[in-house]
Amino acid sequence: MGEFPPVSFDEFACPTAEEWYQEAVAALKGAPFDKRMYTPTYEGITLEPIYTRADNESLLELGGMPGEAPFLRGAASAGYMARPWSIAQSACDVLPREANEAARKEIEKGATILHFELDDCTKLGLDPSPVLFKGDYRGLSLSNLHDADEALKGFDLTKTPPHIYAGASAAALLGLAAAHARATGAKEDFREAGGCIGADPLGELAERGELPLPLDELYDEMALCIEWAEKNAPKLKTVLIRGDVYHNGGAGATQETAYAMSAAIACVRAMTRRGVEAETAMKHIKFSFSLGTNFFMEIARLRAARTIWAQIAEAFGVDTEEYGRLDLMARTSRFTETVYDPYVNILRSTTQAFSGAVGGVGAMQVGCFDDAIRPGGEIAKRIARNIQIMLQTEFDMLQPVDPAGGSWYVERLTAQCAAAIWGLMQEVEKAGGLYAALKEGSVQNEIEKTFKSRLKNLALRKDRAVGTNMYPNVLEKPLGNMFAKGERLYLERKESLERARELRDEKHAEDTLEKIMPAFDKGEGAFIDAVTEAFMAGVTVGELRRLLNDNFAGEEKVRAIGFHRWTEQIESLRRKTEDYTARTGRKISVFLANMGPIPQHKARADFSAGFMEVAHFEVLRNNGFASPEEAVNAAVESGADVAVICSTDETYPELAPAVARGIKAASPEMRVLLAGAPAPEYKESYIEAGVDDFIHVRANCYEILKAIQEKAINAPGSDENQRKGEGL
């Protein structure tokens, strides 16, 4: 084939910024440029309509090369081409043998990290408790060496590194892992184990609102875990700083990053006070972030996070090239998972995983699409796992290195994220560190502001959750939970513990427990060695923690950030409607008073139907009415709770008052709404005629639907009022 002729773009003139602006203003047809073309974000960063080289001239020389400090362009010089990101799909089955089987399947099908998610009892240092084992209970339950043997059976931790979040202290999980290695003759192999069995006491405090011990004592345990790991498993990390604690409370990307970095700074400072060098402490820290829905924001903050961690390393006076590389695992967002139309979660998690790959994470977990409803089944796990495998193999996301690098938009956004993160960290420092900031509630307040802003934007439908506040599927059949309930799982775990206690030597177990506290100050890894000996003797996690907690009854409490999902408010509204219908057999119905022929009312009728179906109200449709009298008669005969007048702005002055008055005269209890924002000069006349509210693109969907729902459920003669009467 002949050579292609050279391509020239000389015929295309490069427009100036002013020329572009004038064209944009013309295209907006009178809409305000500043409001339509600038996008505010939850990170406090306003996205501009266009980015040019001129906007980034001061940034183009920053960042260095991939693999070089400050690691803006990646922690490795070859990016993913030399080593792909690790696939860390989790096993959260409660019973150890089932968790082992689930983890084996993940590894066989492509996962590269042994990732167990622990149950609450294990993370809290409790033996299985009927108080917690309720309903949809999840997470691997580990209580003794037998459980650890079942869960870890067949795994070589030197080839498949573990990733386990242990809670406020990693002492118990490290002891169990060490005991398993000894019991299986793999003690020497365990020295080469990598991965992370880590703790985050400040993260636990933020999430749950309390700790079982004073923070300083948990830091003591953290220092002893690091000391032991340095001697016995130097490649294993023992601190896992969780950003998802803040993300799941509703935080923005920069808030999550800043508070996680502040938690890491607190850990390093606490370790240096206990004789652990900053280099050693930083070497043992791994981060876990969530990936949100703002694609470019996530890419930018991941790039920014690497530079921030390098700056922190420099501030502690350590070798940035060696100790300033951010070790980060990311998970697709739990916060953005929805209960309704859950298959849309596949799309959400795919874009989130894509942003993680472009942003340069070291490891990643993709959540199952039904995670907000039930433990993931085989199909859900396969889809989640294959999203990562396809990104690596079919979509060729292993190259190039730093694919977002050089983008005027992303480079500018990265710099803005870094500045925002650093500013938030400085605010935390002014408060005296993250612990003090949590105590005074400033962190919780900032996250709560962001969360409330998210709820408001969902209520106004500025933010769109497809299948929930936009395009709801009222014919949807909820997914069932085919997995065992917590109550049954508790009985199995209880029986397992009882059998283990029958087989152990009680005197020997008590003797090993008595040796743990004296080993606290011996150094040389004696503390974790003593914990390991206790587990070898059959001691349980609950017995160990009771000893270490020493009946602590102090006040180590703050206001909990808690766990939320962004759509929980609207889902609760819809669920209330469905529960009411299931209980009474009655539907909350909405009659569309469509005026005129179909072309006249269709647009607003469709809008109104979608608006009302967000709360799963029954929408009574029709092809329109020729006169107000016909519309009024049909609305009253329908017996609906609400009537929505649908037509055009031009016909409303004549039609709307007549329809509203007619309905109110015949059925005073029926709520009347008008579809569309009313013209200011007519609004009062509509209200005087009987229009109760207006639904349009700027209306508060949640508040309007909530008011309709409450009135329908609490109406005289309703099931709810009958129940109230029975209680008098």
Residue 696's Cβ-count burial label (10 Å; 0-12, 13-18, 19+) is middle
Note the pLDDT of residue 1: 52
Interval 506-544: pLDDT, tens: 999 999 999 999 999 898 899 999 999 999 999 999 999
| Contact present, 183 and 150 (Cβ < 8 Å) | no
Q: Count the Cβ atoms, other than its own, within 10 Å of residue 475.
A: 5
**Coil, helix or strand at residue 127:** coil
Note the pLDDT of residue 61: 57
Question: Which band of pLDDT confidence, cut at 50, 70 and 90, is reported for residue 728?
Answer: very low
Torsion of CA 692, 693, 694, 698, to 10 degrees: 180
d(CA 147, CA 128): 12
Greatest extent of the chain over all pairs of C-alpha atoms, in Å: 93
Query: What does DSSP say about strands 589-594 and 618-620: parallel, antiparallel, or unpaired?
Result: parallel
> With 50 as the cut, is the pLDDT of residue 661 above it?
yes
Note the pLDDT of residue 63: 64
DSSP-assigned states of every residue in 584-623:
HS---EEEEEEBSSHHHHHHHHHHHHHHHHTTTPEEE--S
Interval 435-483: pLDDT, tens: 999 999 999 999 999 999 999 999 999 999 999 999 999 999 989 887 8
The residue type at 432: G
Question: Which band of pLDDT confidence, cut at 50, 70 and 90, is reported for residue 91?
Answer: very high
> With 50 as the cut, is the pLDDT of residue 726 above it?
no
> With 80 as the cut, is the pLDDT of residue 554 above it?
no
Q: How far from 237 is each of 81, 186, 283, 285, 546, CA to CA, in Å?
A: 25, 19, 7, 6, 25
The number of CA neighbours under 13 Å toward the Cβ of 239 is 31
Question: Which band of pLDDT confidence, cut at 50, 70 and 90, is reported for residue 720?
Answer: low
d(CA 544, CA 565): 34
Closest to 485 measured CA to CA, from 92, 133, 101, 140: 133
> With 50 as the cut, is the pLDDT of residue 727 above it?
no
Interval 322-366: pLDDT, tens: 999 999 999 999 999 999 999 999 999 999 999 999 999 999 999
Specify the DSSP class assigned to residue 662.
H
Note the pLDDT of residue 57: 77
Range from 127-131, 273-277, 458-462, 554-558 carrying the lowest mean pLDDT: 554-558
Percent over 70 (pLDDT), the chain: 98
Q: How far from 628 is each of 336, 593, 656, 657, 694, CA to CA, in Å?
A: 44, 9, 8, 9, 19
Closest to 208 measured CA to CA, from 451, 546, 561, 511: 561
Torsion of CA 609, 613, 617, 623, to 10 degrees: 20
Note the pLDDT of residue 723: 47
| Contact present, 366 and 384 (Cβ < 8 Å) | yes
Question: Which band of pLDDT confidence, cut at 50, 70 and 90, is reported for residue 2?
Answer: low
Closest to 282 measured CA to CA, from 269, 273, 292: 269
Note the pLDDT of residue 335: 98
Interval 239-298: pLDDT, tens: 999 999 999 999 999 999 999 999 999 999 999 999 999 999 999 999 999 999 999 999
| pTM of model > 0.85 | yes
Segment 582-608 shows an average pLDDT of 97
Share the mean pLDDT of the chain: 94
- Beta-ladder partners of 90: 115
Segment 1-24 shows an average pLDDT of 84
